[in-house]
């Protein structure tokens, strides 16, 4: 018997796969069923972490399984390679970001290859390859022509640490998602993609994504934030301000409460407010509003402040009713029209404001059970259901009919229209960074912003940028920006902003379908391969990347480059890899797991430092991170246990969507499993008959084999990999009941069948071990190309069922009956059973419930 030696075995099989080029996707062939398995491509940080191991192992199980199922599988890999870490490395260490990035890619590629992933490496690319980002510039110009790209002077989220603009999606709790710095508001000329044009379709499309987690769909739905209401104009009661003669347009979702109107409010950066800022008092107030940060705490505690402009408007349903116009800090310019009518009785924000400035509070929704004569609103606005009152023609209506009636009246008066409004804002895509995809336009003094003709693409980054100081290295390059205007030929300046890296990742899956295409996307290839059948990645991209990719897919589709509307038919979001934390008792200093020894004393787990022997405090289980020093380096695990054990453990311990806890004991267990599996294969004598023959013992094993095939197949299909692995642990334990050295010929044959299935079942999880095992039992070719085992349904069912018998819901015995026996027959057997009869002595039988093949319950009293 030879011990299983992954150090020899694993590289051997990886080489065999590479030599046979087994993972190369077949050509797009209509009629040949395809499967596109994709994991979110990594940022090339230079080092693989356990999160990567989990992510790519999960995707690999799917890819290998589908290959065994006979699909033409596309399973590519690439690099999301632009971005700030390269610039930071350049600034800190004086290295070139390009060289640093490609070095990292080389290191990570080697580590990923070691994982034994079934990747088609011939399609690899990095987003920082000019061959890729040049194509991105190409379609960017197409979208420009389509009117989906625009520039606008606007207030943007400015990250003072990274010195760049951030999209709304990249601001988390008022802080930059990467830097963690409190985001400032700045007014800049910005580049936008018109994602809001697709808001309705993006929200509707979610309904079709039945293989996405509900959670992610819900998060996107909330983010897009559709609300239905009314946009209408208030006519002026005072003299109309210049430019606003048509009135003041507001948006509301509560037109039913119009008779509860108290005042009209506009945002501090509303054009009207800016016009009124000619008055220094108004200007001072607006400046006051701009103070205060965007952080959660600041917004939460910010007091509502307002300024009465002295202007008044007329109520739409009563021309004699005048409402004052206030500037209020709680009104957002970029939602709706930046102006509202306030109904303090039924909106908490309006109420807070009205109480502060002593404005009227008039209730118009009567809660059920309240008396119209006595109902009043105190400091809490009433937002619940009820009946409209004090509201003329709306009186007596419920809220929804009242909304409809109010909208109809406003529309009849030609003062406005029912309107759907979205929370989603257009996507600000320009970043003031040097290490990104250049925006392919020039600025000409005469012609303005001019897109470059496509024959001038790609606009390539210079390779001698100065990253020694913060800020935009591209902008301060001495010569790069010099160009000539394609329209008038005069001297012009290149745009020095680059695109958000989320643009890079919003279409890479389409490029993977043909990485050599002259066009950005080879439509025939994309039509064959897309949508991605299974996409696997982290939940942190639920809104950002996944929303942008859905948008870009639609935009490119409308440009005729793609046929699918949804890029990812199936999405799986995996949980994080966590680990216990350890720290020194006195200093509180974090200690790495590899420097810790775990002991059991008095049945309790104790941690001790391997270096000093001191007792350590075992802390919480947290996401692996450098700051908590609770990381485990994958390469060190591979070195000790082999890749398969690491893959197996990371797949076995928890359902894939949940966090999984890495532990030394756990990977140890996986390693022992690998060895026990090998021993079982190794003990099988060569030349065992492949065809099992009837024999009670052999039949028992065969039944178990086929039940396991069924269970594992279903587990893999439904992403319950941990359950599938648990079934294989059981399978192995069952096999041990039939040791080869004591087996009869029929049992040996059944073992051969079991092992043949086993090797194929474990192949997606522990591919190297599976190859070695497959070879050991004389399997045909490599297991990677072997078909998935089929099960015989007749063997997965028992011939005899043991049914528990309950009396009044309590278990009182059991009977054995033929499987599938009809309830009436079962009832007869049960009632004839002497043991059951004894239990029923002195009781009158009221009812007998028989659930076929499951249970019998006798109700008696």
Partner RNA sequence: GCCGCCGUAGCUCAGUGGUAGAGCGCAUCCUUGGUAAGGCUGAGGUCGGCAGUUCAAUCCUGCCCGGCGGCACCA
Q: Looking only at residues 78 through 97 of this chain, which bind RNA when binding is defined by CB under 7 A?
A: none
Question: CA nearest 333: which of 279, 290, 295, 282?
Answer: 290
Shortest distance in whole angstroms from residue 811 CB to RNA: 5
Q: Segment near RNA (CB under 7 A), from 53-61, 278-286, 487-495, 535-543?
A: 535-543
Which residue has 């502060």 as its token pair? 356
Among 654, 684, 705, 752, binds RNA (CB under 7 A): 654
Among 482, 606, 733, 785, binds RNA (CB under 7 A): 733
Question: CA nearest 267: which of 254, 249, 279, 281?
Answer: 249
- Cβ nearer to RNA, comparing 218 with 790: 218
Among 723, 776, 839, 840, binds RNA (CB under 7 A): 723
Regarding 385 and contact with RNA (CB under 7 A), the answer is no
DSSP strand E in 8-62: where?
Answer: 34-39
- Cβ nearer to RNA, comparing 506 with 663: 663
Shortest distance in whole angstroms from residue 727 CB to RNA: 7
Q: Segment near RNA (CB under 7 A), from 117-125, 234-242, 306-314, 721-729?
A: 721-729
For residue 568, give the DSSP letter: B
Other CB atoms within a 10 A radius of the CB of residue 841 amount to 6
Shortest distance in whole angstroms from residue 414 CB to RNA: 21
Among 660, 752, 756, 766, binds RNA (CB under 7 A): 660
In the beta sheet, which residues pair with residue 498?
Answer: 431, 438
Distance CA 222, CA 311 (A): 36
- Cβ nearer to RNA, comparing 250 with 561: 250
Shortest distance in whole angstroms from residue 308 CB to RNA: 18
Distance CA 747, CA 122 (A): 45
Regarding 225 and contact with RNA (CB under 7 A), the answer is yes
Among 543, 618, 795, 821, binds RNA (CB under 7 A): 543
Q: Which helix (H) or strand (E) holds 704?
A: helix 696-717
Among 95, 182, 539, 829, binds RNA (CB under 7 A): 539
Shortest distance in whole angstroms from residue 594 CB to RNA: 14
Shortest distance in whole angstroms from residue 328 CB to RNA: 9
Which residue has 């948006």 as its token pair? 251
Among 163, 179, 196, 227, binds RNA (CB under 7 A): 227
Question: CA nearest 316: which of 418, 400, 233?
Answer: 233
Please give the residues from 30 up to 69 whose contact with RNA meets the rule CB under 7 A.
none
- Cβ nearer to RNA, comparing 264 with 643: 264
Among 30, 809, 834, 842, binds RNA (CB under 7 A): 809
Regarding 811 and contact with RNA (CB under 7 A), the answer is yes
Q: Segment near RNA (CB under 7 A), from 54-62, 456-464, 669-677, 825-833?
A: 669-677
Please give the residues from 419 up to 458 whose contact with RNA meets the rule CB under 7 A.
421, 423
Contact between 304 and 328 under an 8 Å Cβ cutoff? The reply is yes
Among 736, 780, 785, 799, binds RNA (CB under 7 A): 736
Regarding 621 and contact with RNA (CB under 7 A), the answer is yes
Give phi and psi for 573, each to the nearest 5.
-110, 115
Regarding 796 and contact with RNA (CB under 7 A), the answer is no
Gyration radius (Cα) of the chain, Å? 34
Among 679, 699, 791, 796, binds RNA (CB under 7 A): 679
Shortest distance in whole angstroms from residue 675 CB to RNA: 5
Among 592, 695, 814, 827, binds RNA (CB under 7 A): 814
Contact between 322 and 237 under an 8 Å Cβ cutoff? The reply is yes
Distance CA 364, CA 196 (A): 34
Among 412, 600, 686, 824, binds RNA (CB under 7 A): 600
* DSSP labels, 633-649: -HHHHHHHH-HHHHHHH
Regarding 304 and contact with RNA (CB under 7 A), the answer is yes
Contact between 228 and 251 under an 8 Å Cβ cutoff? The reply is no
Regarding 116 and contact with RNA (CB under 7 A), the answer is no
Which residue has 């086993």 as its token pair? 758
Contact between 607 and 584 under an 8 Å Cβ cutoff? The reply is no
Cα distances (angstroms) measured from residue 775 to each of 396, 669, 760: 81, 24, 11
Q: Please provide the distance, in angstroms rounded to a whole number, between the alpha carbons at the two ends of the chain.
A: 65
Which residue has 């200690």 as its token pair? 591
In the beta sheet, which residues pair with residue 494?
Answer: 442
Distance CA 725, CA 761 (A): 9
Please give the residues from 228 up to 267 whose contact with RNA meets the rule CB under 7 A.
229, 251-254, 267
Shortest distance in whole angstroms from residue 668 CB to RNA: 6
- Cβ nearer to RNA, comparing 552 with 803: 803
Contact between 665 and 672 under an 8 Å Cβ cutoff? The reply is no
Shortest distance in whole angstroms from residue 698 CB to RNA: 19
Distance CA 769, CA 644 (A): 7
Distance CA 38, CA 78 (A): 10
Please give the residues from 183 up to 222 whose contact with RNA meets the rule CB under 7 A.
214-215, 218-219, 222
Distance CA 808, CA 845 (A): 10
- Cβ nearer to RNA, comparing 222 with 693: 222
Please give the residues from 150 up to 179 whose contact with RNA meets the rule CB under 7 A.
172
Shortest distance in whole angstroms from residue 252 CB to RNA: 4
Binning the chain into helix, strand and coil, the percentages to the nearest 5 are 40, 25, 40
Contact between 516 and 473 under an 8 Å Cβ cutoff? The reply is no
Task: Give the Cα-Cα-Cα angle 115, 118, 123 (nearest 5 degrees).
Answer: 110
Shortest distance in whole angstroms from residue 293 CB to RNA: 11
- Cβ nearer to RNA, comparing 210 with 455: 210
Regarding 689 and contact with RNA (CB under 7 A), the answer is no
Distance CA 187, CA 358 (A): 34
Other CB atoms within a 10 A radius of the CB of residue 314 amount to 17
Which residue has 């054990």 as its token pair? 645
- Cβ nearer to RNA, comparing 173 with 204: 173
Contact between 116 and 541 under an 8 Å Cβ cutoff? The reply is no
Q: Segment near RNA (CB under 7 A), from 103-111, 224-232, 491-499, 684-692?
A: 224-232
Regarding 574 and contact with RNA (CB under 7 A), the answer is no
Q: Segment near RNA (CB under 7 A), from 185-193, 194-202, 324-332, 789-797?
A: 324-332
Among 672, 717, 745, 790, binds RNA (CB under 7 A): 672
Other CB atoms within a 10 A radius of the CB of residue 282 amount to 18
Cis-peptide into 222, omega within 30 deg: no
Regarding 831 and contact with RNA (CB under 7 A), the answer is no
Shortest distance in whole angstroms from residue 217 CB to RNA: 10
Regarding 612 and contact with RNA (CB under 7 A), the answer is no
Distance CA 732, CA 15 (A): 28
Count of chain residues binding RNA (CB under 7 A): 81
Ordered alpha helix ranges (H), 544-603: 544-558
Regarding 851 and contact with RNA (CB under 7 A), the answer is yes
Please give the residues from 334 up to 373 whose contact with RNA meets the rule CB under 7 A.
335-336, 338, 340, 347, 349
Among 94, 243, 280, 603, binds RNA (CB under 7 A): 603
Shortest distance in whole angstroms from residue 404 CB to RNA: 15
- Cβ nearer to RNA, comparing 28 with 336: 336
Regarding 290 and contact with RNA (CB under 7 A), the answer is no
Which residue has 């937002």 as its token pair? 383
Regarding 676 and contact with RNA (CB under 7 A), the answer is yes
Regarding 839 and contact with RNA (CB under 7 A), the answer is no
Which residue has 């109700």 as its token pair? 859
């Amino acid at each position: 018997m030879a011990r299983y030696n992954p150090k020899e075995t694993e590289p051997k099989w990886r080489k065999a796969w590479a030599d046979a080029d087994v993972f190369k996707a077949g050509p797009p062939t209509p009629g040949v069923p395809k499967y596109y398995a994709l994991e979110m491509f990594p940022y090339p940080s230079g080092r693989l972490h356990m999160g990567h191991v989990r992510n790519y192992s999960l995707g690999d199980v799917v890819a290998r399984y589908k290959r065994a199922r006979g699909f033409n599988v596309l399973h590519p890999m690439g690099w999301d390679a632009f971005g700030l870490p390269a610039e930071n490395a350049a600034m800190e260490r004086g290295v070139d970001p390009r060289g640093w990035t490609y070095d990292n890619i080389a290191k990570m590629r080697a580590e990923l290859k070691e994982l034994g992933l079934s990747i088609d490496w011939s399609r690899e690319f990095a987003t920082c390859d000019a061959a890729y980002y040049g194509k991105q510039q190409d379609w960017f110009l197409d979208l420009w022509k389509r009117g989906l790209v625009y520039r606008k002077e606007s207030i943007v989220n400015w990250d003072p640490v990274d010195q760049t603009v951030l999209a709304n999606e990249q601001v988390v709790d008022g802080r930059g998602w990467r830097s963690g710095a409190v985001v400032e508001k700045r007014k800049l000329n910005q580049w936008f993609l018109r994602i809001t044009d697709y808001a309705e379709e993006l929200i509707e499309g979610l309904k079709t994504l039945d293989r996405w987690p509900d959670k992610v769909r819900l998060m996107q739905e909330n983010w897009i934030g559709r609300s239905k209401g009314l946009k209408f104009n208030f006519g002026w009661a005072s003299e109309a301000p210049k430019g606003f003669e048509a009135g003041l347009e507001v948006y509301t979702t509560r037109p039913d409460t119009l008779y509860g109107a108290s005042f009209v409010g506009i945002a501090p950066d509303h054009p009207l407010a800016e016009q009124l800022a000619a008055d220094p008092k108004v200007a001072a107030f607006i400046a006051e509003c701009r103070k205060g940060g965007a952080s959660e705490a600041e917004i939460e505690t910010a007091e509502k402040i307002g300024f009465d402009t002295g202007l008044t408007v007329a109520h739409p349903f009563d021309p004699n009713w005048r409402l004052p116009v206030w500037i209020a800090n709680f009104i957002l310019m970029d939602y709706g029209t930046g102006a509202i009518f306030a109904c303090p009785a039924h909106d908490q924000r309006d109420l807070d404001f009205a109480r502060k400035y002593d404005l009227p509070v008039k209730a118009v929704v009567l809660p059920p059970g309240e008396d119209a004569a006595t109902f009043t609103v105190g400091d809490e606005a009433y937002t619940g259901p009820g009946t409209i009152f004090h509201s003329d023609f709306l009186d007596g209506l419920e809220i929804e009919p009242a909304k409809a009636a109010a909208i109809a009246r406003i529309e009849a008066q030609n003062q406005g229209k029912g309107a759907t409004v979205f929370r989603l804002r257009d996507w600000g895509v320009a970043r003031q960074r040097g290490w990104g995809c250049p925006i392919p336009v020039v600025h000409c003094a005469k012609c303005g912003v001019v897109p470059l003709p496509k024959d001038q693409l790609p606009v390539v980054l210079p390779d001698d940028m100065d990253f020694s100081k913060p800020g935009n290295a591209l902008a301060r390059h001495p010569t790069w920006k010099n160009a000539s205007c394609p329209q008038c030929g005069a001297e012009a300046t290149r745009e020095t902003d680059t695109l958000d890296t989320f643009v890079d990742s919003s279409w890479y899956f389409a490029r993977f379908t043909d990485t050599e295409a002259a066009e950005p996307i080879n439509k025939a290839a994309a039509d064959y391969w897309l949508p991605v059948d299974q996409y696997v990645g982290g939940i942190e991209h639920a809104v950002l990347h996944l929303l942008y990719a859905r948008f870009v897919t639609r935009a490119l589709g409308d440009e005729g480059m793609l046929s699918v509307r949804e890029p990812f038919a199936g999405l799986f979001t995996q949980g994080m890899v966590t680990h216990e934390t350890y720290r020194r008792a006195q200093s509180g200093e974090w200690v790495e797991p590899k420097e810790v020894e775990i002991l059991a004393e008095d049945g309790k787990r104790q941690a001790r430092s391997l270096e000093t022997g001191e007792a350590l405090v075992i802390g919480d289980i947290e996401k692996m991170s450098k700051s908590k020093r609770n990381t485990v380096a994958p390469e060190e695990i591979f070195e000790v246990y082999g890749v398969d054990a690491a893959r197996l453990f990371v797949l076995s311990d928890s359902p894939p969507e949940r966090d999984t806890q890495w532990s030394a004991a756990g990977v140890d267990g996986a390693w022992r499993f690998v060895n026990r599996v090998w021993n079982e294969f190794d003990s099988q004598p060569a030349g065992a008959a492949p065809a099992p023959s009837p024999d009670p013992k052999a039949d028992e094993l065969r039944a178990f084999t086929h039940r396991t095939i069924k269970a594992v197949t279903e587990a893999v299909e439904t992403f319950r990999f941990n359950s599938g692995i648990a079934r294989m642990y059981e399978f192995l334990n069952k096999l041990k009941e039939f040791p080869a050295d004591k087996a009869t010929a029929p049992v040996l044959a059944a073992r051969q069948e079991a092992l043949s299935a086993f090797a194929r079942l474990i192949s997606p999880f522990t591919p190297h071990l599976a190859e070695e095992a497959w070879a050991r039992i004389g399997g045909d070719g490599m297991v990677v190309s072997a078909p998935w085992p089929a099960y015989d349904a007749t063997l997965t069912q028992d011939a005899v069922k043991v049914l528990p018998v309950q009396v009044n819901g309590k278990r009182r015995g059991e009977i054995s009956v033929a499987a599938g026996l009809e309830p009436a027959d079962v009832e007869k057997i049960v009632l004839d059973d002497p043991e059951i009869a004894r239990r029923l002595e002195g009781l009158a039988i009221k009812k007998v419930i028989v659930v076929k093949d499951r249970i019998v319950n006798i109700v008696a009293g």
